[in-house]
Structure 1
Amino acid sequence: MSADMQGAVAIVTGGGTGIGAAVVRRLAARGVRCVVNYASSKDDAEALVAEIGAGAIAVQADIVEDAACHALADAAITAFGRIDFLVNNAGRTKFANHENLDALSADDFIDIYRLNTIAPFQMIRACAPAMREGGIGAVVNVASVAGVFGHGSSVAYAASKGALTTMTKSLARALAPAIRVNAVAPGYVGTGWFEKRLGEAGFAALNARIAAATPMGMAATPDDIAGPIVMLLDPASRVITGETMLLDAGAHLDVGLARRPGREV
């Protein structure tokens, strides 16, 4: 356990499920007191808080609204007296073939951008005053390989995550040296979202297909993504800021290359 993280306080947006919940579990295991934010997944967030204990709290806030971001930060300060870490994990998308330019409206772009890009900015702004005081302030934005390579669920999603990675650099510069700001860019992550839609057998088949197409021969789980996020928050990583870490089991190494022998791509 890192003594530098023991007793610290973290806010994790979208923290009740998927990657967010995996981050909360890992932080709690390191002695970090967690504020589990949710917009609508109340049952999941409260069940997670009951599971990890350690004084964790679940707080509802639709972080698209700036006032809700300030209320969330205030809830953390009221409960724990400080904010050290922020994980901007909440996000949304709309599935639309990139070639179908009529599949997305301006409203789709705005809706996705508000949660994926503007909300993280608002959360950082709301938390920054408290984070400056603690001496170990660190933010991790959960972006996506879609924002790096321009693929993924839709053009709007890729654009929003690309903007998030650029904003990460801007704010890392602006908030240094008091607060470090980094991002992770996951590739495929086998969350419960896929399992609910594909069923157990379909989910297993998808994971096998993904694993066969990655150099590391694996399909990432939420916990695989949570590990690097917690590493970037750890004060032991104080030399790292303004970075976007690709978390795709090496899949980006094959971008633009011919089929690899023995792999289905």
Structure 2
Amino acid sequence: MNDRQVALITGSATGVGAATALQLAQRGWNVVVNYSRSEQEAQATAAECRAAGADVLLLQADVAHDADCRRLVAQTHGRWGRIDALVNNAGISVFGEDAKWDALDAEVFHRIIGVNTIGSFQMVRAAVPHLKAAGGSIVNVSSVAGALGIGSSIPYIASKGAVNSMTLHLARTLAPEIRVNAVCPGYITSRWFARGIGQEGADKALKAYEGAVPLGRASTPEDVAEAIVWLVAGARTVTGELLMLDGGTHLGGAPKRR
């Protein structure tokens, strides 16, 4: 059996997933870099992880499809004979004002919940036997949206609220063999917002966010990855935690600036 620990990270071509894969590679882990469409970026992330000393498996899959989830897990276990951590990072959204009800049809809901919520469950279901054997852990990448009811769109908020509830349930039912936690970021300085609302809109949203939250700053992908890595590689007595990485958004607003 492979002596290095193994992490399967969905949606890890760019952003938080890529940063998590690289940080785990730097800590001596082997990693799966998964992508749905961003093959070129995934290749670059895989190359960085290999340069850090990791053995890397690069796999295309859409987690909304159960067969893809099962294949991801089977190929990971087939490569190394173990899975020590699952990071459910793959996620999608739409961006729109709440008043634009007509844009939020059933197809939009199904697709977002299919990836963000059902996809996470399908990955857990496929990976649990191997995670139990390893005494491993699961980290679901959720959002402050799911905890506070704010975010890019109602389908996204609903999907992340479901992820948070599922995290609590799984933490109970999979203990003591598997720890299950979630991270709930606020604004992240990745290309996510720029792709959704354009660079100008993303810049305005970032400025407004940093002016409104107590800490006065947004998270970088590396910030979120640090928390994920801690939950994966340390935090031996932490399970069922919804870790807020939101600059203090959940506190209700920034103090007066001096």
The alignment's TM-score, normalised by the length of structure 1, stands at 0.89
Q: Distance in 2 between matches of 1:198 and 1:102?
A: 22
Matches within 5 A, 1:164-183: 164-183=163-182
* Structure 2 match to 1:108: 108
Q: Is the 8 A contact 2:32 2:56 kept in 1?
A: yes
1:28 is displaced (CA, Å) by: 0.7
Q: Distance in 1 between matches of 2:161 and 2:202?
A: 28
Q: Is the 8 A contact 1:208 1:219 kept in 2?
A: no
Q: Is the 8 A contact 1:97 1:103 kept in 2?
A: no
Q: Distance in 2 between matches of 1:98 and 1:176?
A: 38
2:3 is the counterpart of 1:40: no
1:207 is displaced (CA, Å) by: 3.5
Change (3 A) 1:179 1:80: same
* Structure 2 match to 1:3: none
Q: Which runs of 4+ in 1 moved over 6 A?
A: none
* Structure 2 match to 1:83: 83
Which is worse superposed, 155-164 or 188-197? 188-197
Superposed CA RMSD? 1.9
* Structure 2 match to 1:147: 146
1:204 is displaced (CA, Å) by: 5.4
What are the ranges of 5 or more consecutive residues in structure 2 without an aligned counterpart? none
Q: Distance in 2 between matches of 1:205 and 1:73?
A: 40
2:7 is the counterpart of 1:23: no
Q: Distance in 2 between matches of 1:159 and 1:193?
A: 18
1:194 is displaced (CA, Å) by: 3.6
Identity value in percent: 46
* Structure 2 match to 1:133: 133
* Structure 1 match to 2:235: 237
* Structure 1 match to 2:257: 262
Q: Is the 8 A contact 2:214 2:255 kept in 1?
A: no
1:109 is displaced (CA, Å) by: 1.1
Matches within 5 A, 1:56-75: 56-75=56-75
Q: How many residues align?
A: 252
In structure 1, give the amino acid aligned to 2:130.
A
1:223 is displaced (CA, Å) by: 0.6
Q: Distance in 1 between matches of 2:60 and 2:36?
A: 6
Structure 2 counterpart SS, 1:36: strand
1:195 is displaced (CA, Å) by: 4.7
The alignment's TM-score, normalised by the length of structure 2, stands at 0.91
